Structure 1
Amino acid sequence: MLYTGYDIQRGFLASAGWIAQKQADFLNNFTNSPLNYGNLTSVTASALDVFAHSVMPRGKPAFDLKVVEIDGKHLPVEEHNVARKPFGQLKHFTYEGSESKPKLLICAPMSGHFATLLRGTVERMLPTHDVYITDWKDARDVPLTGGGFDLESYIDYLIEWLEFIGPDAGGRGAHMLAVCQPSVPAYAAAAIMSANKHPLRPRTLTMMGGPIDTREAPTAVNDHATRRPHDWFVHNVIATVPPYYKGAGRRVYPGWLQLSGFMSMNLGNHMISHWSMFSNLVEGDGESADRHKDFYDEYRAVCDMTAEFYLQTVDTVFQRHLLPKGEFNYRGKLVDPGAIDDIALLAIEGERDDISGIGQTKAALTIATGLPDAMKQYHMAPEVGHYGIFNGSKWREKIAPIVEDWILSHNG
């Protein structure tokens, strides 16, 4: 009933939003008219526009990366889904000459948003790398015949896709870059492949804002996971997909619940942002308003996670901290971080990250006891929040060059 009730409410709000947008469009025709007494028409139209945008239903966004600029030349980019599995696909971005550059697998979070949240990450790395990204599906759209998907499945997918991408010129696997939550399964995959001396183990693993050890500087997200027993999450945040979706009957953690949690954590900032959008519209500054809209179009586009993935992550990563304690179990065997002995590790954290606190990602370097110090690097990005680590000007101008240099210096 939880899921169906939400869908009914969303349907009503979408209808109200459609009407509000039509009214806003109509009133905008009179903003330069004598009828716009005291700017009342502009104010009303802007308020209706903000409301309509806030309740608009959103599907999966497109990456829409059409061109890459290299040495002053604009080269067309092609996007291919090169490997498919029930819960995701491996997406490959190609352009003339890209195959000669270091192979990079970007591990997108399975945390309620689509992989397009990393559009800025992909765009910045494209000119210097042969880029692949994990493109996860909305769990509500995966039929029950597709089986289940948990934290160990995520590791399976990463290993299989590294094998699919294949070796570089020196015979090793692609470089990996994990943003936020997938730092844990990416690190586990690196340890597993190292222990098995897998020939396609990655050359480097960059982790950005990842919850490797959430006992370090716990944030509100961490506190939310530890304040309640595991059973509370089972009985209060898991829903059944209704019969009108492809994944009917599947147990999921709904993306809209995740979104509401993130929005409530920074409610003040989101209110200020919407007020700024409203003010920009009143003043006729459509460009600034569109920037706000573009961000929220992406931020509000959410997808469901399987219940087993969500619950295992809460238990393993946030409540029992199994990976840093050396107690994480994968397919019946313990994952040994000390087995990583020739995969160069780069840990990046944001000074103002309110999701993964300072020290949580850096812990990956500490527990890699078999790796020489020369193959470890830590960077704390000053005045950068969680999303600024992988998107925006500070990512493009300050952080990405560090990642590029790290990959280049360990490219064999």
Structure 2
Amino acid sequence: MNIHVVSIRTLILTATAYLQITFARRDRRSWQSEVGRQYNLNVTKAIIKSHSKSRNCDSLHSYLLHRSTASAGATRAAMPLPLPSLKPPNFVFVVGDDIGYGDLHCYGHPYAKTTFLDRLAREGTLFRKFYTGGRTCAPSRAALMTSRNPVLIPYEYGLGNQTLTQMLYDSGYAVAHFGKWHLGKKPDASSPVYGFDMLVETHASLNGCMQASGLGIDERLFSAAIAWLTSHLQVDAARPFYINVWPHTPHDPVFTCQVEQASTALPKQPPFDFDIRDFGANMQAKLKLAEEAGINTQVAMGRYLRAVSALDINFGRLMAGMEKLRLQNDTVVVFTSDHGPDVTTSVGVTTLRRGVHEFSGASPYLMGYAGGLRGGKFTNFDGGLRAPFIVRWPGRTLCHALHAQHCSLFERAG
């Protein structure tokens, strides 16, 4: 059976080949007005200087196009279009941390409020059977960045120079990374071997805030990404870019910070009245086990969903910032997760009851939903390996479309 295990390198091959137009009506509302109306949040909160270098941009787009073929299996009809230009697209790659397959409203969560990620799904293509390369953070991210089986990549020695970021850097792209890295110690993310023009790493702290700035860790990194894009266009607008935006939410410990407090649209109290019957059988069993362990699942669910909503708000800010800079039509935007939802705070820790590895350790708020699938992070079941995967490239990807079949794209990576 072929399985859709895609690295971001493979995604580029797919995106450049997937030249199709939709007949569906697109949402014409401005991302900026929507963010401002719902959350009253400033799109850009910080200005940072980029370290872009001027280089001749090779025709990566043309090169990749000759090495790929059109994707199939979308649920809506589409008309192939000729390549409008040889200008390579920009890429924004957002990877949530422990986001479950069912944690977004567009993936079936009965209570999650994910306004902006849902809009991305309406404007792009949502994949139903995307499988990650690993069941935990580092292996999965290594697969995304290298197209290699993570078993072949020793964590202690990093990824070397066989990475997507280095490939794009060598092809003339401006490359930046914002947020979590977690891909080896030698070399670390600051090494020139990875090709980053700009690197902003963030690390979680006990109270969920960056100590230096007082801003939530994800709010800070999304602001830095918006600011870098602004600076990049001022310095080297003709040069295409690729950026990783890898937030920490909703990784354990589950928390939210100022972006939640500033929002007027997020629920002020956890949803105490959620109905357990609205979830699949595996999630129902998880909730019952949590209750037996003495956890108030209503409070825990409320806190977890507020964290997911905070991630959604920050994603909306990024999209609004891109719209303000008029980047939306030339940029491939991808949202995914590194694996399934966390089901334990520590592997091998004894639990509160029944000897099952659930709800042990510091955080009782691990209410991630695998969408009716069995298992989660640390497991090889579908709940641990299947993740959300949404792609939007206006005028190229299908609008409000689903990919529901297994497919393998490894052969297109060459």
Is TM > 0.5 for Structure 1 vs Structure 2? no
Instruction: Judging by fraction of residues, say which structure has more helix.
Output: 1
Q: Classify the TM-score, shorter chain.
A: under 0.3
- Quick one: higher RCO (CA 8 Å, sep 6+), 1 or 2? 2
Q: Please identify the structure whose Cα radius of gyration is greater.
A: 1
Question: What TM-score results when the alignment is normalised by the length of structure 2?
Answer: 0.26
